[in-house]
Amino acid sequence: MPLQDALSGVKILDLSRILAGPWCTQNLADLGADVVKVESVETGDDTRGWGPPFLTAEGQDPLSAYFLCCNRGKRSIAIDFAKPEGAALVKRLAARCDVVIENFKSGSLLRFGLDYASLRAINPRLIQVSITGFGQDGPMAGRPGYDYVFQGMAGLMSYTGIPDGQAGAGPLRTGVAVVDLMTGLYATIAVQAALRERERSGQGQHIDLALLDVGVALNANQATNYLVSGKAPARSGNAHPNCAPYEVFACRDGHMILAIGNDAQFERFCAVAGRDDLGRDARYRTNAGRIENLPALREEVARILARKDRQDWGRMLDAVGVPWGPIQPLNEVFADAQVRHRQINRTLRHPRMGAIPSVRNPLLPPVAGADDGRPPPLLGEHTEEVLAELGLGATEMAALRSGKVIA
């Protein structure tokens, strides 16, 4: 079975919005799951309004680029589940689903009867993933928070940014919501593991995922650097805390990343640069020595690389197997020969919005030609379709619509 059909037959009820939850459910949809996204009747997912830029088509509400990035492959149904009739519809959907993904503040769904205990009572095989900022319990449970908050609170920004004493010194966040995205990936893994466990036990389970937990876990080697040494890492700009030289350097015509990960690579770099003396220097022969003497080494490498253009260095470093790379704006990224070869840029076709640009899920293999996958949905685009699957007729749907329970 192709990977893109691996979750065929799995039904996902998506009660999430913004990014972490939708990123998870988009992954699940890409793997073949049937994802029904429940949205607010009035506004839909918050990110529908997070623009510009917007994708527009005559006679249609605009779709924000932000919403497009994480909602392909889904069917949208607009339900106001603050109303009892709406909550009843969501319960009926949950009774038929394998997995519910939600990112409401802890305890919020209880007042609608949509908490895990209530849904499990009608569907014991249900798997529910609850994504919150701080988790389902603890002194900060229930407090709201966005990705940016957790990049700071979890420690990531404490060592990301310009070092003290340099121009513009201070902490910086990443250019994308990395904690949200990684939470979505952890949730994707958790869902698949829970489905596998359900095959053995026949039971569902409740998965509690907190952005704070994910943010702390993302510290990776920096966390263990601290736990081993007792010393909190400082901001190091573009330098690596454990490898050297491993950072951005200026060439004659622009910047490049030199990424030397072992002593043999450093020796080859010195040889191709015509500086065998650096490779023989006792201060720089080992990676530990290069880290200890990084300020002096950085000055030497900067002088070397400033003498030639970036592409000249690239050809020379490629010839001896030393890792390097350019810093490309996105127009160059999508024009890059390797990126084009990998067919990472996809085009989805929507019957009313036309062509919708997208990015291939890297889990899935490149597919030549036009993509026939399900595009991101308009708000409530599939409400009637999904409710008909529950057995609702036109008269009942009209009554729900007139009461603004659905849209």
Looking at the annotation, which residues are catalytic? 180
Do residues 235 and 163 touch, judged by C-beta distance below 8 A?
yes
Q: How far apart are CA 365 and CA 362, in angstroms?
A: 7
Q: How far apart are CA 378 and CA 43, in angstroms?
A: 11
Q: How far apart are CA 116 and CA 13, in angstroms?
A: 13
How does DSSP classify residue 231? -
Among 192, 156, 159, 191, residue whose Cα is nearest residue 177: 156
Q: How far apart are CA 405 and CA 307, in angstroms?
A: 68
Do residues 99 and 191 touch, judged by C-beta distance below 8 A?
yes
Return the structure tokens found at 282: 């006792």
Do residues 117 and 91 touch, judged by C-beta distance below 8 A?
no
Return the structure tokens found at 194: 């829970």
Give every CB contact of residue 302 below 8 A, 6+ residues apart in sequence: 249, 250
